[in-house]
Amino acid sequence: MHPKLIELEKQFNPSILTQVFTPLLARKKIELWVKRDDLIHPIISGNKWRKLKYILNHALILNAHTLVSMGGAYSNHCHALAFAGKQLNLTTKVFIRGEKPKDLNPTLKDILDWGMKLTFISRSEYKGLRYYKKHNELPCLKKGEYWLPEGGSTKLALHGVGEIIHEIGVEYDFLCVPCGTGTTLAGLVNSISGHSQVIGFSALKGANFLVDDVGIMIGKDKSKRVNWSIELDYHFGGFAKYNNDLLLFIEDFNKRHNIEIEPVYTGKMFYGLFDLIQQDYFKPRQKIVAIHTGGLQGNR
Ligand SMILES: *Cc1c(COP(=O)(O)O)cnc(C)c1O
């Protein structure tokens, strides 16, 4: 590990496991634990750090002076990258999807404050950038610039996510995780062992492509999908869409467990998970660990 990365890692807290209790869980005899990656850092959101860690290390080892990436106007990835870049004394630049809004949202304000350079691009140009995956692949890169694809979805990201598995000190049958690009899910699937299975909950509508994308990331034919699956029906109308049902669920969850969740990712996962428990998807005495991937900055 690069010494600058070891230094940055000192800012992080351990990610604890919290058991939660509800009448439904008691009735169905299901044990549910939450892996609190939301608590590892006050600013760098849980799974964004897991994904960035070894990418940043690689960039530092290559002596890069600038990190270049892409994201939406509320991107947790860009937010985490801007902060990490500032801590590491690296220049950061991102392409943001869509027109520059008149009033900047809190995410964009933060990242500008941390010195990130923003370039607003059209949706079609943005789509074009998705083609470039490797750190040196983006055509306009200058010497010393390091490219991170959308959401930081690379092999190095999978390695960082895999560390979550080694930290879980209880036995479990299922791991649950919210999905955007599916990178976090793929990293978990790659590192999980034994009989345990991973269930992803898509935050996007019509996300059938995730099954192929995750299959490619884990380097296995999707027909060999034995220990993972993706729930596609808990998107609430699409990415960052929600309804009253979801908001009431989140409010109740926050109060009951004193664990904050948000409507884009973790709220949809927990809603879906409790729905599956209600429908007897799980057997009595099975144990579930749900990964709280953070993302609370987007709540503002
Ligand atoms: C980005 C994000 C995800 C999605 O992660 P992927 O690896 O893209 O699937 C899930 N939860 C939170 C809180 C996020 O910020």
Q: What is the pLDDT of residue 225?
A: 64
**Residue 37 C-alpha to ligand 1 middle, in angstroms?**
12
189, burial (CB in 10 Å: exposed 0-12, middle 13-18, buried 19+): buried
Per residue of the chain (300 residues), what is the pLDDT tens digit? Answer: 999 999 999 999 999 999 999 999 999 999 999 999 999 999 998 999 999 999 999 999 999 999 999 999 999 999 999 999 999 999 999 999 999 999 999 999 999 999 999 999 999 999 999 999 999 999 999 999 999 999 999 999 999 999 999 999 999 999 999 999 999 999 999 999 889 999 999 999 999 999 999 999 998 655 556 899 999 999 999 999 999 999 999 999 999 999 999 999 999 999 999 999 999 999 999 999 999 999 988 777
DSSP 283: P
For the stretch 74-88, pLDDT in tens is: 999 999 999 999 999
Q: What is the pLDDT of residue 297?
A: 80
Question: Closest ligand 1 atom, CA of 77?
Answer: 1
Q: Which residue has the tokens 């664990």?
A: 259
Question: Closest ligand 1 atom, CA of 38?
Answer: 13
Q: Helix or strand or coil: residue 24?
A: helix
Q: Is the CB of 71 under 6 A from ligand 1?
A: no
Alpha-carbon span 66 to 94, nearest angstrom: 11
Q: Is the CB of 183 under 6 A from ligand 1?
A: yes
Residue 108 one-letter amino acid: L
Q: Is the CB of 182 under 6 A from ligand 1?
A: yes
Q: Is the pTM of this model over 0.85?
A: yes
Q: What is the pLDDT of residue 221?
A: 57
- Let me know: does 99 contact 112? Beta carbons within 8 Å: no
Rg (CA), the chain: 19
The angle at the Cα of 173, spanning 276 to 261, to the nearest 5 degrees, equals 55
Of 112, 84, 90, 92, the C-alpha closest to 100 is 112
Q: Residue 23 CB: number of other CB atoms within 10 A?
A: 7
Of 218, 217, 216, 198, the C-alpha closest to 269 is 198
Q: Is the CB of 270 under 6 A from ligand 1?
A: no
**Residue 143 C-alpha to ligand 1 middle, in angstroms?**
30
Q: Helix or strand or coil: residue 74?
A: coil
Q: Give the count of alpha carbons within 13 A of 164, CB side only.
A: 36
Alpha-carbon span 297 to 69, nearest angstrom: 19
**The sheet that has 228-231: what strands, in order across it?**
17-20, 31-36, 287-292, 174-179, 197-202, 228-231
Which residues lie closer than 8 Å to 290 by C-beta, 6 or more apart? 32, 33, 34, 35, 175, 176, 177, 269, 270, 273
Pocket test for ligand 1, best of 179, 202, 232, 262 (most atoms within 8 A of CB): 179
**Residue 27 C-alpha to ligand 1 middle, in angstroms?**
31
Q: Is the CB of 298 under 6 A from ligand 1?
A: no
